[in-house]
Amino acid sequence: MNPTTTDSQDVPESVSTGTDLIEWYYTQGFSDGLPVVPPTVEKVSAMLDALGGGPASVECRVPPRWGNLTREVLAINAVMAGCLPKYATVVRAAILALCAPHFNLNGVQATTHMCAPLLVVNGPIRKQIGMNAGGNVFGSGNRANATIGRAIRLILLNVGGGWPGKLDKATLGHPGKYTYCIAENEEESPLAPYHVEQGYQADTSTVFLLAAEPPHSVTNHVADDPEGILDSICSAMSTFAHNNAVSAGHCAVVLGPEHARTIAKRGWKRQDIRYYLWHNSGNRWRDVTFGDRYGKVYNRSLPVWYKREPDARIPAVPYPENIHLFVAGGEAGRFSAFIPGWGRMSSPVLRSIDGGAPQASSASARCVDGTCYL
């Protein structure tokens, strides 16, 4: 079977009996570098059934190659990634979010920056399909997390054409370009789930996508108050090496459950945390711009309302709402993570698995504070 959108004469529909299919898919260039699961008729049919049938139905076009992602091609790539059929709707929702114009997947796929799409899943589907939201949440060991993220990458390669050294121009890349998929640990979180804060019902399942750098660890084993923990996160945010510092945009913060409980027991809510992080992180203009000794190269990348004065504070991101806050990870361990975004070139997208709109008026518009709701 053909996982791409190339013409049938370019890729044969079948191979001879006895062919090592894993090696055959390597030679065809359909792998992300790891072995793939051969997409048998039976496996693809089961995946198609989970997607609602209609193999020729076009879900979207995937940049920068702008290949047509048919439902059958989506199913084939999901099978090759190792997905079970029950993961299919999450993969589809994530790809539709990535292909929304606001996300600028064309730029994300082709940039020299190292960003990769980070997927965070909320709602009941996390448990239904067995996603990991706890210990080692960004790491290995969970099939759903690993293969959903990998299916997205295979589609970005095989349909979008984002092959390293060709249309993908990333100088370094990062390991999240294999798979970068987690779930929020709603059960251990003392805060309202992210999607509920954004206007969705608790029983609605959602996907959130952000073009992101790798997680930056934040360690704080001593603070017993919100300020102490959050000051450590502010420290991670307050460098001029990540893309937010020089290109604004959005970022994510993942609180470990221990840190989240310490903060919440003092009555702090998500909004309080975001505002504290925004107000107490950032850099001086002179540091971000190297004192303008290379010219005013950053002026065009940062909001016009930033003061262009040597000691003026430059926030890590333009507004508190640009900090996307989640709780995830294991019960033990006083660790959190800061995840920089790509910058103003991409807006994160939040959408429900079934495509329904959020209910709360604060999130009823198509885009609010730079985050797009579909």
Residue 11 falls within a domain, yes or no?
yes
Q: Are 156 and 94 a contacting pair, CB within 8 Å?
A: no
Q: Residue 331 falls within a domain, yes or no?
A: no
pLDDT at 57: 97
Higher local confidence (pLDDT), 9 or 366:
366
* 337 burial via Cβ count (<10 Å: 0-12, 13-18, 19+): buried
pLDDT in tens, 290-346: 998 998 887 788 999 999 999 999 999 999 999 999 999 999 999 999 999 999 999
From 49, 32, 44, select the one nearest 160 (Cα to Cα).
32
Task: With H, G, I as helix, E, B as strand and everything else as coil, classify residue 129.
Answer: coil
Residues with Cβ within 8 Å of 328's Cβ and at least 6 positions away in sequence, in order, are 120, 133, 134, 137, 182, 183, 184, 185, 254, 255, 256
- pLDDT > 60? residue 253: yes
Would you say residue 369 has pLDDT above 60?
Answer: no
- Assigned domain for 326 exists: no
Residue 315's pLDDT is what? 96
Structural domain includes residue 345: no
In this structure, is residue 246 part of a structural domain? no
- Domain-located, residue 165: yes
Q: Is the pLDDT of residue 2 over 80?
A: no
The distance between the two most distant Cα atoms of the chain, rounded to a whole number of Å, is 70
Percent of the chain with pLDDT over 70: 92
Residues 98-142 have pLDDT tens digits of 999 999 999 999 999 999 999 999 999 999 999 999 999 999 999
Q: Categorize the per-residue pLDDT at 18 as very low, low, confident or very high, splitting at 50, 70 and 90.
A: confident
Q: Which residue has the higher pLDDT, 365 or 239?
A: 239
Which one has a higher pLDDT value, 363 or 172? 172
More confident residue, 330 or 1: 330
Span 203-212, mean pLDDT? 98
Q: Which of 20-29, 139-148, 207-216 has the lowest mean pLDDT?
A: 20-29
Helix (H) or strand (E) holding 67: strand 67-70
Q: What is the model's pTM?
A: 0.93
Structural domain range at position 64: 1-189
Q: What is the arithmetic mean of pLDDT over 156-169?
A: 97
In the predicted structure, residue 14 carries a pLDDT above the cut 50: yes
Q: How many domains does the chain have?
A: 1
pLDDT of res. 361: 37
Tell me what pLDDT residue 365 has.
37
Rounded Cα gap, residues 125 and 119, in angstroms: 14
Percent of the chain with pLDDT over 90: 87
Sequence-separated (6 or more) residues with CB below 8 Å from residue 305: none
pLDDT band at 359 (very low <50, low <70, confident <90, very high): low
Distance CA(332)–CA(57), nearest Å, equals: 46
Which residues, at least 6 apart from 241, have a Cβ–Cβ distance to it below 8 Å? none
Q: Which residue has the higher pLDDT, 322 or 362?
A: 322
Q: Is residue 303 part of a domain?
A: no
Task: Tell me the pLDDT of the chain averaged across its residues.
Answer: 92
The two tokens of residue 124 are 């009941």
Please report the pLDDT score of residue 10 as a whole number.
Answer: 38
pLDDT at 79 over 80: yes
* Per-residue confidence (pLDDT) for residue 367, from 0 to 100: 53
For residue 7, what pLDDT is reported? Answer: 39
Asked if the structure places residue 28 within a domain, the reply is yes
